[in-house]
Structure 1
Amino acid sequence: MSNNTIENVKSEEINAESLSPITLAFMGDAVYETLVRDYLITELKLPAAKLHQACVSFVNATAQAEAVKLLMPHLSQEELTILRRGRNANTAHVPKNATPADYHYATGLEALFGYLFLKRKTDRIYEIFNFIVQLRCHNETLGGNSF
């Protein structure tokens, strides 16, 4: 994947620590979905008819929750703190197709992506995203669901 999908949006870092975890998740949702869409179009070269379904399989709460659980041992203490803030945040609702636990883990992942984006840590964003992609590919190779 090209590492310029999100790099040049804005150059200065902001005080992301002062933002609510829900605000971080709001930003992270957009960042994560942009990365997924870029990956599906540029790396997998999927036809347009399959893009939406493939995107949903990446960004749904269950898939994000599974990714978080495998990702957590590889995160720094700072990243774990942000992830936990997002996971523990009070959310207005839980989508009907997700368990409350999965939704909270997904919110944590999105908060982490939002935080890293606002801190302009794009290299780390790509490291984490590529790790998630590798986990999905490994899981599919073993015959499992691509969480």
Structure 2
Amino acid sequence: MKAKDAELLNGLALAYMGDAAYEQSIREHLLTNGQTKPNQLHRLATNYVSAKAQAWLIDELIEEDRLNEVEIEFYKRGRNAKSYSKAKNTDGSTYNKSSGFEAVMGYLYLTKQEDRLHELIEVCIKKVDKALA
């Protein structure tokens, strides 16, 4: 997909792709760190990929001024997108923030900004790891 085409996608389409890109990185992180039991992998991954975790992470990234103006725009596009499905296990605000988080990840992935994507994911992994310690 061309970068210009990716930039035209709606927030939920970007979030759809971002969810997959982020979760794959989390799975790799867990496996690289020696986690191999399926139930344990799923339980640990939830600490990184749940709507609550992603909402917290995006708040942290914004508070620490880690996102540039374009990334903030794509966060808002994902956060403000009208979803016709109900959030599971969380409130609407948290769900919307997590959609915004995923939209940023999707935007970076689809526009081939791999270094930036991995940089933000590494920051997020470190934050969750620190919170779990």
TM-score of the two chains, using structure 2 as the length reference: 0.91
Task: Give the equivalent residue in structure 1 for 2:53.
Answer: 63
What amino acid is aligned across from residue 71 of structure 1 in structure 2?
L
TM-fit CA distance, 1:93? 2.1
Matches within 5 A, 1:17-36: 17-36=7-26
Runs of 4+ in 1 over 6 A off after TM superposition: none
Q: Which has the higher contact order (CA 8 A, sep 6+)?
A: 2
Tell me the residue number matched to 1:9: none
1:3 aligns to what? none
Question: What do the CA deviations read for 1:93-115 (whole angstroms, capped 9, x no partner)?
Answer: 23230111110010001101110
The answer to which structure has the higher helix fraction is 2
Letter in 2 for 1:14: A
Unaligned runs of 5+ in 2: none
Structure 1 gaps of 5+ residues are 1-11, 142-147
Residues 48 and 125, structure 2, Cα contact 8 Å, conserved in 1: no
Q: Give the fraction of aligned pairs with identical amino acids, expressed as a percent.
A: 33
What is aligned with 2:102?
110
Quote the RMSD (CA, aligned, Å). Answer: 1.3
Query: Is 1:140 aligned to residue 132 of structure 2?
Result: yes
Moved more, 90-99 or 55-64: 90-99
Tell me, yes or no, if structure 1 residue 81 matches structure 2 residue 73: yes
